[in-house]
Structure 1
Amino acid sequence: MPEKRDFATLFQGTSPQLIAVLTGTLVAISDGMHYGWTAPVIPILLNEQTRPFETTLHECEWLESALMIGAFCGLPTTIYFVDRIGRKYSMLLASAVTFVVWIVIGVAKNMTYLYAARFFAGMAGDMAFVAAPMYIAEIAHPKIRGFLSSIIYLMMLIGILFVYAIAPFVPYYVPSIVGGALALIELVTFAFMPESPYYLIFRNLNDEARASLGKLRKYDRSDEVEKEFEDICQAVRRQKTEKGRPQDLILIPSNRKAILIMTVLNGSQHLSSISVLLMNLHLILNEAGSVYIETSYAAIIFAALMFIAATTASMILDRCGRKVLLTISALLTGTSLLVIAIYFNLMAAGHDVKSISWLPIVSVMCYAAVFKFGLGIVPIVVTAEIFPTKMKAIGMTLADSMYVLFAIISLELYAWLHDAYGNHVPFYLFSACCYLTALFTIFVIPETKGKTLEEIQMLLKGHDKEVSVHLPKYAGEIYG
Structure 2
Amino acid sequence: MLLPGSVTDKFQGTFPQVLAAVSGTISAISDGMQYGWTSPTIPILLSEDSPWEVTASQAEWLESILMIGACCGLPATMYLVDKIGRKKSLLIAMVITLLAWIVMAVAPRIEYVFVARFCAGMAGDMAFVAAPMYVAEVADQKIRGFLSSLIYVMMLTGILIVYCVAPFVPMWVPCLLGVLINSIGLTIFPFQPDSPYYLLYNNKPDEAKEALKKLRKRDNIDGEFLDISAAIERQKSEKGRFQDLFLVPSNRKALIIMVMLNSSQHMSSISVMLMNLHSILAEAGSFYVAAHTGAIIFSATMFASAMTASLAIDNFGRRFLLCTSGLFAGVSLLTIAIYFTIKNSGVDISKVSWLPLFMVILYAASFKFGIGLVPVVMTAELFPAKVKAFGMTLSDLCYVGFSVISLQIYHVLRHAFGIQVPFYLFACSCFCTVIFTLCYIPETKGRTLEEIQMILKNEFKSKYTDGDAKLDDGNKDGYKNEAYVP
Are 1:237 and 2:236 counterparts?
A: no
Q: Which amino acid in the other structure matches residue 292 of structure 2?
A: S
Mapped contact 1:33–1:163 kept (Cα < 8 A) = yes
The Cα offsets for residues 203-240 of structure 1, whole Å up to 9 and x where unpaired, read as 00111101100110023xx3x31221111000000001
Q: Does 1:6 align with 2:2?
A: no
Question: Is residue 81 from structure 1 mapped to residue 92 from structure 2 by the alignment?
Answer: no
In structure 2, give the amino acid aligned to 1:242.
E
1:471, distance to aligned residue in structure 2 (A): 8.8
Q: Is the 8 A contact 1:452 1:475 kept in 2?
A: no
1:360 has 2:356 as partner: yes
Matches within 5 A, 1:218-237: 218-219=217-218, 222=219, 224-237=220-233
Aligned to 1:196: 195
Contact 2:33 2:159 in 1 (8 A): yes
TM-score for both structures, normalised by structure 2: 0.95
Q: 1:334 aligns with which of 326, 330, 333?
A: 330
2:114 — aligned with what? 115
Report SS of the residue matched to 1:464: coil
Partners in 1 of 2:4 and 2:227 — Cα distance?
30
Give the 3-state SS of the residue equivalent to 1:142 in structure 2.
coil
Determine if the alignment matches structure 1 residue 425 to structure 2 residue 424.
Answer: no
Aligned residue number for residue 41 of structure 2: 41
- Name 2:96's counterpart in structure 1: 97
Conserved 8 A contact 1:54-1:110: yes
Structure 2 counterpart of 1:368, one-letter code: A
Query: What is the distance in 2 between the residues matched to 1:467 and 1:262?
Result: 28
Displacement of 1:318: 0.4
In the alignment, structure 1 residue 55 sits paired with structure 2 residue 54: yes
Distance change (3 Å), C-alpha of 1:333 and 1:147: same
Cα drift, residue 465 of structure 1:
2.1
- Amino acid in structure 1 at the alignment position of 2:37: W
Secondary structure at the aligned position of 2:143 is classed as helix
Cα distance change of structure 1 residues 15 and 171 upon mapping to structure 2, 3 Å threshold: same
Percent identity over the alignment?
Answer: 57
Taking a change above 3 Å as real, the CA distance of residues 86 and 462 of structure 1, as seen in their structure-2 partners, is: same
- Structure-2 separation of matches of 1:228 and 1:59: 53
- Contact 1:142/1:475 (8 A) holds in 2: no
The residue matched to 2:37 in structure 1 has which SS?
A: helix
Structure 2 equivalent of residue 129 of structure 1:
128
Superposition misfits of 4+ residues, deviation over 3 angstroms? 2-5, 466-477
Find the counterpart in structure 2 of residue 32 from structure 1. 32
Q: Distance in 1 between matches of 2:129 and 2:211?
A: 21
Counting only pairs closer than 5 Å after superposition, residues 280-291 of structure 1 correspond to structure 2 as 280-291=276-287
Check if 1:274 corresponds to 2:270. yes
Cα pair 1:30 1:182 within 8 Å, conserved: yes
Give how far 1:468 is off.
6.2
Map of 1:392 onto structure 2? 388
Offset at residue 3 of structure 1 (A): 9.4
State the alpha-carbon separation in 1 of the partners of residues 104 and 348 from structure 2: 46
Q: Does 1:187 align with 2:186?
A: yes
Letter in 1 for 2:9: T
Asked if the contact 1:253–1:461 (Cα under 8 Å) also holds between the matched residues in 2, the reply is yes
Residue in 1 aligned with 2:214?
215
User: How many angstroms apart in 2 are the aligned matches of 1:113 and 1:467?
Assistant: 59
Alpha-carbon displacement from aligned partner over 1:230-251 (angstroms, at most 9, x marks no partner): 1100000000111110000001
1:476 shift after superposition: 3.5
> Where in structure 2 are the equivalents of 1:404-419 lying within 5 Å?
404-419=400-415
Q: Is this contact kept in 2: 1:337–1:367, CA < 8 A?
A: yes
Contact 2:4 2:10 in 1 (8 A): no
Structure 2 CA distance for aligned equivalents of residues 161 and 335 of structure 1: 25
Which deviations, in whole Å up to 9, do the C-alpha atoms of 1:42-66 show, x marking residues without a partner? 01111112x1111111111011111
Instruction: Show structure 2 runs of 5+ residues with no match.
Output: 473-477, 482-486
Partners of 2:330 and 2:428 within 8 A in 1: yes
**How far, CA to CA, are the matches of 1:446 and 1:475 in structure 2?**
22
TM superposition shift of 1:347: 1.6
Q: Residue 457 of structure 1 aligns with which residue?
A: 453
Letter in 1 for 2:36: G
Q: In the TM superposition, what is the alpha-carbon distance from 1:4 to its structure 2 partner?
A: 10
300, 325, 344: which one aligns with 2:296: 300
Q: Which amino acid aligns with 1:177?
A: L
Q: 2:204, 2:460 → 1: CA distance?
A: 32
Q: Match of 1:446, SS?
A: coil
Contact 1:341/1:425, CA 8 A, preserved across alignment: yes
Amino acid at match of 2:192: M
Structure 2 Cα separation of the partners of residues 410 and 39 of structure 1 = 18
Please give the alpha-carbon distance, in whole angstroms, between the structure 2 residues aligned to 1:251 and 1:472: 35
Cα distance in 2, alignment partners of residues 242 and 471 from structure 1: 29
Give, in angstroms, the shift of residue 288 of structure 1: 1.1
CA distance in 1, matches of 2:173, 2:463: 52
Deviation (angstroms), 1:90? 0.3
Question: What is the identity, as a one-letter code, of the residue corresponding to 1:105?
Answer: M
- 1:334, 1:475 → 2: CA distance? 39
- What are the residue-to-residue correspondences of 1:366-385 with 2, within 5 Å? 366-385=362-381
**1:403 counterpart residue number:** 399
Matched AA of 2:84: I
In the aligned structure 2, how far is the partner of 1:346 from the partner of 1:305?
A: 28
**Matches of 2:402 and 2:16 in 1, distance apart?**
36
Alignment gaps of 5+ in structure 1 = none
Q: Contact 1:72/1:401 (CA < 8 Å) preserved in 2?
A: yes
- Which structure shows the bigger proportion of residues in helix conformation? 1
In structure 2, give the amino acid aligned to 1:16. Answer: P
CA contact (8 A) 2:3 2:10 kept: no
CA contact (8 A) 2:73 2:126 kept: yes
The 1:337–1:203 alpha-carbon spacing in structure 2 relative to 1, beyond 3 Å, is same
| 8 Å Cα contact 1:292/1:358 also seen in 2 | no
User: Is 1:70 matched up with 2:66?
Assistant: no
Deviations 1:107-156 (A, max 9, x none): 11112101101110110000000000000000000100000000011000
Shift of 1:297: 0.4
User: What is the CA distance between 1:292 and its match in structure 2?
Assistant: 4.1
**Structure-2 residue corresponding to 1:22:** 22
**Structure-2 separation of matches of 1:140 and 1:394:** 22
Q: Could you say if the C-alpha distance between residues 336 and 14 of structure 1 is closer, same or farther in structure 2, counting changes exceeding 3 Å?
A: same
The correspondence of residues 249-264 of structure 1 with structure 2, limited to 5 A, is 249-264=245-260
SS at match of 1:143: coil
Partner residue in 2 for 1:346 = 342
How far the C-alpha of 1:6 sits from its partner, in A, is 1.4
Question: Does the Cα contact within 8 Å between 1:95 and 1:186 map onto a contact in 2?
Answer: yes
Change (3 A) 1:73 1:95: same
